[in-house]
Each structure stands twice: as structure tokens, then as C-alpha cells.
Amino acid sequence: MLLELTKKTLAFYLEDIETPIGKAINFILLFLILFSSAIFVAETYPIPENIFIILELINDAILVFFAVEYLLRFWCADQKIKFVFSFFSIIDLLAILPIFPGFLELSFIRIIRWFRILKLIRFLKFKIYIFRISTEDGVIFARILFTLFTIIFIFSGLIYQVEHRVNPESFKNFLDAVYFSVVTMTTVGFGDIIPTSESGRLLTVLMILTGISLIPSQLGDLIKQLIKTTKNIEKSCSGCGFSIHDIDAKFCKICGTELGIYQINNVNEKK
């Protein structure tokens, strides 16, 4: 009984963003994801050996922390098989694969560690909560920015990892890789940086395909939402706090509380 209660409590706090404990846990996880990603970026630049060793030790500690998080989520899951093959679980597993160096080739470990940034997807709702983004436009815009940032970060890390060894003059550091990714995904193609390996060229093709399929669709969603909100009015509901309603709405579409917007609009029109 006590074990089951502990499991349910832990599962609640791992997903909760309202209570102080839930927010603290999510803040820690969010910080560690960003910090580990910053370590990966820093290691693409020339740094002193002693600093590099310290960063690697910190990264190993974060890796152990993520492994513990994964095991706890697995323990709390009611349906273990479904959990293992769920989207978020696969991302979490990718993030901790480098903890098993005996089973994976070293270069593969260096490549998959760039996917750790995908763990941020789990905390997208939490980040929206942190920045107090309450409007539908703001949420969609935040998702678009996050999607673009994630895709660019992953492709930049992958192309750097693949090309740096064979083409160090063009891909000196992470910033060079970001520049190449942005130019490639936007199909500008200046041609001043060119991948030379087969893997690099394959990644370039994937970048182009991702850019021409992802960016227009994301911008299209934003434009649709902006057109939709021109027919809305901003007025907070006294019942639930929801702030965007149709111009002629009489009641809140979330909780049903009377708004009075329709009556106010009629009065203004008569004036």
C-alpha cells in the first residue's frame, strides 16, 4: 500500500507544474537538459584540457541523473511495455544511451548525444507556464520557435560531428555548423561551406527536405491563428481566467461563465 502510494506520488510530481515540489523538479530537469547541451556546444571550441575534463565529469553526472529519472518513470508507469515504446520514453532512452559505452561505438555515442535536446519537448508546457504565455497566439508562436530551435540544434550537432574530422577547415566549431544548417534549411545555399563526406551530404539533403516541409507549415499555422484572432476580443473570464473569446460571445467557451462582451459590443455599435 505504501509502495503504491509512493509510486503515484512520484509519478504526479514528475509531471506536475503547479505545486512547489513539481515546479522544482521540472526546473532542475530543464536546467540539466540545457546545461548538458551547453557542454556539448562548448566542447566544439578549443578549451584547456583541465576544463574539458571537468565538463566531461559534469556531463557524466548529468547522464547518471537522467538514467535515474528514466528508471523512476519506468517504475511509476502502470503499463511498462507501453511506456518503453512511447515517444517521450524513446527520447529519454536516446539521451542515456551513452551511459553504455561498452555496447556502442564511440562515434555513434557522440552523434546521439545531440538528441538530448529533444527531452525539452516534455517540458514545453512547463516553459510556456514559466513565461506566462496565456494567449493562443503566444503558445503557437512559442511552439514554432521551439520546433525551429530544436531542429537547427540537432542538425547542427550532427553535421558538426560528421564533418569536423574530415573537413575541419569548414566546420571548425558549433557556430559554423549552425550557420550551415540555417543557410541550408532556408534553401539560401551560399556555397561557402560544403560537406565532403557521404554522411554529411546525406544530412544536407535531410536538412533541405526538412526546411522546405517544416518552415512553410509552421508559418502557415501562425498565419491561420493570426487571422482567426482578428475575430476575437481579449477579455478575461472571471471564472477561469481564459482571456480570448469571440467578439459576439456571451459566455466563456471554457467554463460557461457569462462575459457580457456581446452586450458591450452592441452598446458600442449603437453609439
Query: Last residue of some domain: 93, 123, 153?
Result: 123
Query: Within a domain: residue 156?
Result: yes
Q: Is residue 176 part of a domain?
A: yes
Domain end residue (candidates: 59, 92, 123): 123
What is the domain-level CATH number for residue 80? 1.20.120
Report residue 264's pLDDT band, with 50, 70 and 90 as the boundaries: very low
Q: What angle do CA 257, 263, 268 make, to 5 degrees?
A: 140
Residues 84 and 182 in one domain: no
CA–CA gap between residue 3 and residue 82 (Å, rounded)? 21
70 shares its domain with 83: yes
> So what's the pLDDT on residue 48?
93
Residue 43 has pLDDT above 60, yes or no: yes
Given a cut of 60, whether residue 109 has pLDDT beyond it is no
Rounded distance, CA 107 to CA 162, Å?
A: 9
Question: Is the pLDDT reported for residue 99 higher than 60?
Answer: yes
Domain of 31 in residue numbering reads as 1-123
Query: Is the full-model pTM beyond 0.85?
Result: no
Over residues 21-40, mean pLDDT: 85
Split at pLDDT 50, 70, 90, the class of 50 is: very high
H or E element at residue 233: strand 232-234
Among 48, 47, 66, 242, smallest CA distance to 139 is for 242
Q: What is the mean pLDDT of the chain?
A: 77
Question: What number is the average pLDDT over the span 174-193?
Answer: 86
Q: Are residues 155 and 249 in the same domain?
A: no
Q: Which range, 170-179, 226-235, 242-251, has the best average confidence (pLDDT)?
A: 170-179
Whether 193 shows a pLDDT value over 70: the answer reads yes
Which of 91, 123, 155 is where one domain is finished? Answer: 123
Same domain, 13 and 57: yes
User: How many structural domains are present in the chain?
Assistant: 3
Q: How many CB atoms lie within 10 A of CB 245?
A: 21
As a whole number, mean pLDDT of residues 57-63 equals 88
